[in-house]
């Protein structure tokens, strides 16, 4: 029984229970496996195989959503998701009955935007079977490679694989299914109190090279020993891709969020040149190295969309509800249970200046690769930042963010790394850091960044050289 | 047939596949949430799931596998999968895995619930949110939001050591907030906190909040904040209200005393801790007024339970006594590594997630002062309350927190309202500066504590009272 069979069956059950009701169903199944290590040994090693069904019903002007786990998934010795051979029709019936009952009792929903009309979806890149069916030994082997490559330094992190199948059907005739898979490694090496990090996420597990990542993390850690304390203030910075990813996440949640734009909570103005003209940002679920589904939870087909073109915002993310209020179609960015928080772009890619692999050669020292080194060499005096941590928004409209540096900061003088620096706290309006004239350089290639495990974001970013970053504290306070 | 048969089958499956220890939890969860905005219902979600999670130990390696299938055959296979994963862990082995001894317990526990929140009519709950958000909108809010959340969890735990435990925990809470849009910024006021107040109680908790009595006030204060003076940048005396103190405890004490962080098990993600086990029992964490307890037995508090998720009965212990660090949040395995003799703080976010060290209720014991006495004793300072932003480093030392609202204090009296109040500090320096502590403790509930990979959301409790701190840096801006 396919997931699309399950979704279609639920639509039939709704039609029988409440003729005329509008209904949409999302059936999802997947296996998430994550091998976690600390103190250089595997201490947590987990996997779950789940199938769930989400139903949203609109009837008599009222809306309710219900969801449930579904029994019967693959629980045998095979690895990776396999749809259930059969599904308990009574369980689907109970979901339908309680969701329809809830819709009858819910207050009226005058903003209901209607269902997605039937439309074709573009296929996402085919799934790599080695990724989708990776076994515990495949993950443990990469962990072992990372640990060994760190050359005796203490290590910690994870290697994960995810296979995800999704099917959608609604009572307006839209139906589609999509399959994707992702492998990721995100880990540190530790030299005394100094940490170095290396990360990668890819649709192909063969791109996850534990030995290369371990060596990179160890090189960073060794270069970060005995950091000096510098005074807070404004510094020119080179942000490595993992730090740039934080900018993209906050821009997506608070800036390019169509609902926030509708409500005046976002700084973004469509059509305005709010960013440096060197910046272009696209949302691309079809990236062959990324992790994308062909449609969103409302069944809207995904498309490659440009959000920022040469510094000018030309689109924001909408679901059907925020799109209707803005007078534009959904952009295919609806998320489950996110009516309050709004639509979020899931596959942002800040465009690099070179080709796919331009400048990804290893270099000595703490710099991530040759692409970042090229930016460092242009800095007269500034800081190289590996990572941001615990960033929080003080005000969503100005997008003033406070957070800390993590996993390595270095002083750059006359184009050379001269010393490690202790971590800073910063308080920085993100739009200001990317404003016209503020971006001094963009890395030649971008890196797929592992999701933080809380969401389905799959972003790619190059390094950035920025004219100014506002550091407001150091370890002394 | 008993509900324990399925987890018992999973445990047996793991043992037959070579595990030296195994435990399993069957869980059945019902979750309901509703959000309203500007007088209209924005979202109603009802979720139900059931499944089993199995933990197996093979050699020194742990494995965990979870499925939403409660047949005995599926449970047994899940146990075998957990054992196979544990065997793979042994390829990058650590020291021998030990656990502090725990007697096999058979028990049952349920949280007190006077009014079942899932039995309340949806129309009644929806009408409440519509009324509240309409009132805030009418009183000047540009965006008036209200929400409630309900969790109803039943779980059955079995271990190969003989545990047989079932629990039924009902949790709920609600809150309202008003946002106004100004020139280039937003201001927000909430009640009783941004996401609301939560506990292991029934709908009576939400009724007692009396949200309607505060709707107009929060909208008016949000509008007033737009024209209030900016919080100044300076060193000063700060009084924090009890809701902000709950956040302060959660971030700068609760996470810091998690033993898995102290041992480095979270080094790559959540982080480590500035605390060193060698100083347990001697390190001065804060002033003499600082007494922090770990107590999962508090009736109605959000972090309460009868047994943790590896079968340890709930029990209270000290974390900080008279300002000295004396205790940690621990599990059986982490405690054994640290040479301690207690666990009791291992929890999981559902059947599909591995139990790990989490906060239960971590909170302050009351002090001798009233809020009025603190204000009266302050010549120059700022009163801040209700958290708006929070950021802290990976060792739980360097923090910067923002509040929704502040008030100037001059010569022992409250003065002007201040907007965008923030304060920053280093954990032990900050806590050592606490010179006055309130006597009125509220057990605040935090329903969104994130930790772990894959991510887990925990619900924790934090008894807290208003407190005064001296020499604090305030007003950091971008």
Q: Which of B268, B258, B264, B263 is nearest to B339 (CA)?
A: B263
Rg of chain B over CA atoms, in angstroms?
23
Going residue by residue through chain B, which has 478 residues, state the pLDDT in tens, using 9 for 90 and above.
Answer: 789 999 999 999 999 999 999 999 999 999 999 999 999 998 999 999 999 999 999 999 999 999 999 999 999 999 999 999 999 999 999 998 899 998 999 999 999 999 999 999 999 999 999 999 999 999 999 999 999 999 999 999 999 999 999 999 999 999 999 999 998 899 999 999 988 999 999 999 999 999 999 999 999 999 999 999 999 999 999 999 999 999 999 999 999 999 999 999 999 999 999 999 999 999 999 999 999 999 999 999 999 999 999 999 999 999 999 999 999 999 999 999 999 999 999 999 999 999 999 999 999 999 999 999 999 999 999 999 999 999 999 999 999 999 999 999 999 999 999 999 999 999 999 999 999 999 999 999 999 999 999 999 999 999 999 999 999 999 987 7
Instruction: Give the count of beta carbons closer than 10 Å to the beta carbon of residue A129.
Output: 12
* Cβ–Cβ below 8 Å for A404 and B394: yes
Give me the torsion for CA of A330, A331, A336, A339, rounded to 10°. -50
User: How large is the average pLDDT for residues A127-156?
Assistant: 97
Helices (H), A154-284: 210-223, 241-250, 258-263
Q: How far apart are CA A369 and CA A280, in angstroms?
A: 22
Strand partners, B150: B32, B172
* Cβ–Cβ below 8 Å for B70 and A71: yes
State which H helix or E strand residue A102 sits in.
Answer: helix A89-105
Q: How far apart are CA B282 and CA B279, in angstroms?
A: 5
A70, A87, A102, A107, best to mutate vs chain B, most B CBs in 10 Å: A107
Contact list, B147 vs chain A (CB under 8 Å): 340
Q: Report the pLDDT value the prediction gives residue A80, as an integer from 0 to 100.
A: 65
Residue B142, CA distances (Å) to A110, A318, B139, B175, B187 in order: 19, 21, 9, 17, 10
B366 and B437 in contact (C-beta within 8 Å)? yes
Q: Report the pLDDT value the prediction gives residue B319, as an integer from 0 to 100.
A: 98
Task: Judge whether residue A454 has pLDDT over 60.
Answer: no
Q: What one-character DSSP code corresponds to residue B214?
A: G
Q: Which residues of A14-27 are buried (b: 16+ CB within 10 A; e: fewer)?
A: beebbeebbbbbbb
Task: Judge whether residue A232 has pLDDT over 80.
Answer: yes
A412 and A424 in contact (C-beta within 8 Å)? no
CA–chain centroid gap for A160, Å, is 15
* Cβ–Cβ below 8 Å for B473 and A264: no
Q: What one-character DSSP code corresponds to residue A13?
A: H
Q: How far apart are CA A452 and CA B269, in angstroms?
A: 9
State which H helix or E strand residue B325 sits in.
Answer: strand B324-325
* Cβ–Cβ below 8 Å for A404 and B50: no
B178, B394, B454, B471, best to mutate vs chain A, most A CBs in 10 Å: B454
If you write DSSP's letter for every residue of B248-291 in order, what string do you get? HHIIIIITTTBHHHHTTTTTTTT---S--GGGTTT-B-S-TT--
Residue A231, CA distances (Å) to A400, A421, A422, B93, B472 in order: 21, 10, 10, 43, 19
Q: Report the pLDDT value the prediction gives residue A458, as an integer from 0 to 100.
A: 87
A27, A35, A43, A195, best to mutate vs chain B, most B CBs in 10 Å: A43
Give contacts of A 56-115 with B, CB under 8 A: 63-73, 75-77, 95, 98-99, 102, 105-111
Q: How far apart are CA A172 and CA B72, in angstroms?
A: 40
User: How large is the average pLDDT for residues A345-349?
Assistant: 94
Q: Which residues of A429-460 are buried (b: 16+ CB within 10 A; e: fewer)?
A: bbbbbbbeebbbbbbbbbbbbbbebeebbbbb
Instruction: Give the count of beta carbons closer than 10 Å to the beta carbon of residue A468.
Output: 16
B17, B35, B43, B118, best to mutate vs chain A, most A CBs in 10 Å: B43
Q: What one-character DSSP code corresponds to residue B387?
A: E
A41 and B267 in contact (C-beta within 8 Å)? no
Q: Is A428 on the interface with B (CB under 8 A)?
A: yes
* Cβ–Cβ below 8 Å for A46 and B85: yes
Nearest-by-CA chain B residue for A62: B41
Tokens read off for B26 = 């069957």
Residue A79 Cα, gap to closest chain B Cα (Å): 10
ipTM summary value: 0.95
Instruction: Give the count of beta carbons closer than 10 Å to the beta carbon of residue A416.
Output: 12
Contact list, A95 vs chain B (CB under 8 Å): 48
Q: How far apart are CA A19 and CA A89, in angstroms?
A: 19
Residue of B49, B60, B268 with shortest CB distance to A186: B268
Contact list, B132 vs chain A (CB under 8 Å): none
Contact list, A147 vs chain B (CB under 8 Å): 92
| % pLDDT > 70, chain A | 96
Residue of B64, B71, B478 with shortest CB distance to A427: B478
Residue of B45, B87, B398 with shortest CB distance to A65: B45
* Cβ–Cβ below 8 Å for A453 and B455: yes
Q: Report the pLDDT value the prediction gives residue B39, as an integer from 0 to 100.
A: 95
Give contacts of A 273-332 with B, CB under 8 A: none
Q: Which of A2, A213, A208, A7 is nearest to A92 (CA)?
A: A7
If you write DSSP's letter for every residue of B140-178 in order, what string do you get? T-SEEEEEEEEEEEEEEEEETT--EEEEEEEEEEEEEEE
Q: Which residues contact A193 (CB under 8 A, 6 or more apart)?
A: none
A29, A32, A38, A46, best to mutate vs chain B, most B CBs in 10 Å: A46
Residue of A67, A70, A392 with shortest CB distance to B47: A67
Phi, psi of B390 (to 5 degrees): -150, 135
If you write DSSP's letter for every residue of B431-460 in order, what string do you get? HHTEEEEBS--EEEEEEEEEETTTTEEEEE
Q: Is A116 on the interface with B (CB under 8 A)?
A: no
What pLDDT digit, counting tens, does each position of A66-117 carry?
999 988 655 444 666 676 777 888 899 999 999 999 999 888 888 899 999 9
Residue of A68, A107, A404 with shortest CB distance to B41: A107
What pLDDT digit, counting tens, does each position of A362-387 carry?
898 899 899 999 999 999 999 999 99
B44 and A99 in contact (C-beta within 8 Å)? no
Rg of chain A over CA atoms, in angstroms?
23
* Cβ–Cβ below 8 Å for A340 and B145: yes
SS3 content of chain A, % helix, strand, coil (to 5): 20, 35, 40
Q: Which residues contact A126 (CB under 8 A, 6 or more apart)?
A: none
Q: Report the pLDDT value the prediction gives residue A87, as an integer from 0 to 100.
A: 80
* Cβ–Cβ below 8 Å for A38 and B264: yes
Q: How far apart are CA A249 and CA A331, in angstroms?
A: 18
Q: Report the pLDDT value the prediction gives residue A178, as an integer from 0 to 100.
A: 94
Residue of A42, A71, A102 with shortest CB distance to B89: A42
Tokens read off for A289 = 């190295």
A89-105 helix and A3-17 helix, angle to the nearest 10 degrees: 50
Q: Which of B303, B307, B365 is nearest to B332 (CA)?
A: B307
Give contacts of A 131-150 with B, CB under 8 A: 135-137, 139-141, 143-144, 147
Tokens read off for A206 = 């063969």
Q: Which residues of B315-348 are buried (b: 16+ CB within 10 A; e: fewer)?
A: eebbbbbebbbbbbbbbbbbbbbbebebbbbbbb
Q: Strands A305-309, A312-313: parallel, antiparallel or unpaired by DSSP?
A: antiparallel
Count of positions (residues) in chain A: 477
Three-class SS state of B374:
helix
Q: Which range has the worst mean pLDDT, A105-109, A143-147, A166-170, B323-327?
A: A105-109
Residue of B40, B123, B478 with shortest CB distance to A110: B40
Q: How far apart are CA B350 and CA B312, in angstroms?
A: 18
Q: Report the pLDDT value the prediction gives residue A228, as an integer from 0 to 100.
A: 96
A406 and A199 in contact (C-beta within 8 Å)? no
B291 and B318 in contact (C-beta within 8 Å)? yes
Residue B337 Cα, gap to closest chain A Cα (Å): 13
Q: Report the pLDDT value the prediction gives residue A292, as an integer from 0 to 100.
A: 84
Q: How far apart are CA A71 and CA B1, in angstroms?
A: 19
Task: Judge whether residue A455 has pLDDT over 70.
Answer: no
What do you get for the CA distance between the two ends of chain B, in Å?
Answer: 62
Contact list, B186 vs chain A (CB under 8 Å): 265, 395-397
Phi, psi of A367 (to 5 degrees): -75, 140
State which H helix or E strand residue A234 sits in.
Answer: strand A233-239
Contact list, B95 vs chain A (CB under 8 Å): 41
Q: Is A470 on the interface with B (CB under 8 A)?
A: yes
B72-89 helix and A136-149 helix, angle to the nearest 10 degrees: 20
Q: Report the pLDDT value the prediction gives residue A289, as an integer from 0 to 100.
A: 79
């Amino acid at each position: 029984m396919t997931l699309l069979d399950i979704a279609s069956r639920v639509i039939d059950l709704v039609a029988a229970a409440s003729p005329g009701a509008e209904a949409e169903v999302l059936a999802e199944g997947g296996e998430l496996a994550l091998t976690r290590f600390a103190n250089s040994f595997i201490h947590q090693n987990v996997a779950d195989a789940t199938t769930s069904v989400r139903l949203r019903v609109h009837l008599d002007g009222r809306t309710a959503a219900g969801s449930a786990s579904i029994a019967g998934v693959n629980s045998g010795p095979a690895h990776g998701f396999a749809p259930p051979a059969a599904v308990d029709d009574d369980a689907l019936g109970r979901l339908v009955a309680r969701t329809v009952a809830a819709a009858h009792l819910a207050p009226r929903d005058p903003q209901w935007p209607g269902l997605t009309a039937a439309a074709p979806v573009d296929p996402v890149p085919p799934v790599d079977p080695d990724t989708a069916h990776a076994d515990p030994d495949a993950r443990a082997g990469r962990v072992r490679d990372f640990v060994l490559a760190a050359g005796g330094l203490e290590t910690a992190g994870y290697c994960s694989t995810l296979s995800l199948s999704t099917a959608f059907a609604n009572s307006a005739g839209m139906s589609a299914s999509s399959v994707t898979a992702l492998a990721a490694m995100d880990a540190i090496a530790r030299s005394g109190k100094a940490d170095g990090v290396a990360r990668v996420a890819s649709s192909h597990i063969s791109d996850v090279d534990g030995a290369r990542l371990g060596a990179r993390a160890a090189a960073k850690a060794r270069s970060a020993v005995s950091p000096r304390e510098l005074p807070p203030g404004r510094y020119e910075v080179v942000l490595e891709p993992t730090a740039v990813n934080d900018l993209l996440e906050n821009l997506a949640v608070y800036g390019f969020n169509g609902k926030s734009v509708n409500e005046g909570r976002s700084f973004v103005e469509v059509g305005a040149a709010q960013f440096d003209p060197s910046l272009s940002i696209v949302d691309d679920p079809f990236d062959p190295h990324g992790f994308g589904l062909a449609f969103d939870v409302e069944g809207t087909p995904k498309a490659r969309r440009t959000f920022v073109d040469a510094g000018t915002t030309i689109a924001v993310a909408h679901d059907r509800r925020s799109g209707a209020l803005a007078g534009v179609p959904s952009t295919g960015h609806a998320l489950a249970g996110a009516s309050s928080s709004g639509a979020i772009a899931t596959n942002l890619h800040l465009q690099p200046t070179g080709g796919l692999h331009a400048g990804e050669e290893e270099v000595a020292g703490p710099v991530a690769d040759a692409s970042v080194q090229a930016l460092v060499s242009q800095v007269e005096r500034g800081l190289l930042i590996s990572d941001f941590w615990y960033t929080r928004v003080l005000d969503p409209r100005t997008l003033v963010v406070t957070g800390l540096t993590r996993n390595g900061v270095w002083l750059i003088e006359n184009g050379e790394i001269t010393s490690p620096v202790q971590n800073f706290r910063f308080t920085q309006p993100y739009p200001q850091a990317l404003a016209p004239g503020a971006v001094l350089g963009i890395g030649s290639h971008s890196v797929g960044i592992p999701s933080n495990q809380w969401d389905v974001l799959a972003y790619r970013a190059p390094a950035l050289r920025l004219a100014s970053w506002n550091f407001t504290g150091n370890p002394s306070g | 047939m008993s509900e324990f048969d399925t987890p018992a089958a999973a445990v047996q499956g793991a043992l037959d596949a070579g595990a030296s220890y195994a435990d399993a939890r069957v869980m059945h969860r019902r979750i309901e949430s509703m959000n309203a905005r500007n007088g209209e219902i924005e979202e109603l979600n009802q979720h139900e799931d059931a499944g089993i999670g199995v933990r197996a130990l093979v050699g020194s390696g742990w494995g965990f596998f979870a499925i939403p299938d409660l047949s005995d055959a599926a449970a047994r296979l899940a146990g075998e999968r957990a054992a196979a994963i544990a065997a793979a862990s042994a390829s990058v082995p650590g020291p021998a895995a030990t656990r502090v001894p725990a007697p096999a317990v058979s028990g049952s526990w349920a949280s007190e619930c006077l009014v079942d929140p899932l039995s309340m009519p949806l129309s009644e709950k929806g009408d409440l949110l519509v009324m509240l958000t309409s009132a805030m909108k009418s009183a000047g809010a540009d965006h008036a939001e209200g929400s409630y959340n309900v969790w109803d969890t039943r779980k059955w735990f079995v271990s190969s050591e003989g545990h047989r435990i079932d629990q039924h925990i009902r949790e709920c809470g609600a809150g309202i907030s008003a946002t106004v849009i100004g020139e280039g910024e937003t201001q927000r006021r909430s009640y009783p906190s941004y996401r609301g107040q939560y506990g292991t109680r029934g709908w009576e908790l939400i009724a007692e909040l009396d949200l309607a009595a505060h709707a107009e006030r929060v909208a008016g204060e949000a509008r007033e904040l737009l024209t209030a003076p900016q919080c100044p940048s300076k060193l000063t005396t700060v009084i924090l209200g009890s809701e902000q103190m709950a956040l302060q405890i959660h971030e700068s004490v609760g996470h810091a005393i998690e033993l898995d962080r102290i041992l480095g098990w979270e080094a790559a993600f959540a982080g480590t801790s500035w605390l060193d086990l060698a100083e347990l029992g001697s390190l001065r964490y804060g002033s003499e007024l600082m007494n922090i307890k770990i107590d999962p037995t508090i009736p109605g508090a959000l972090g309460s339970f009868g047994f943790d998720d590896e079968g340890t009965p709930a029990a209270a212990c000290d974390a900080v006594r008279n300002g000295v660090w004396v205790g940690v949040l621990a599990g059986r395995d982490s405690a054994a590594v640290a040479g301690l003799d207690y666990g009791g703080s291992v929890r999981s976010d559902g059947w599909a997630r591995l139990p790990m060290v989490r906060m239960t209720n971590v909170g302050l014991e009351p002090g001798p002062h009233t809020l009025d006495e603190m204000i009266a004793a302050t010549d120059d300072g700022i009163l801040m309350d209700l958290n708006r932003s929070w950021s802290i480093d990976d060792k739980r030392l360097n923090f910067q927190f923002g509040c929704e609202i502040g008030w100037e204090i001059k010569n022992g009296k409250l003065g002007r309202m201040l907007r965008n109040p923030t304060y920053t500090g280093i954990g032990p320096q900050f806590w050592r500066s606490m010179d006055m502590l309130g006597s009125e403790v509220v057990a605040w509930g935090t329903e969104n504590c994130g930790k772990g990979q894959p991510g887990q959301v925990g619900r924790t409790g934090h008894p807290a009272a208003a407190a005064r701190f001296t020499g604090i840096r305030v007003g950091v801006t971008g």
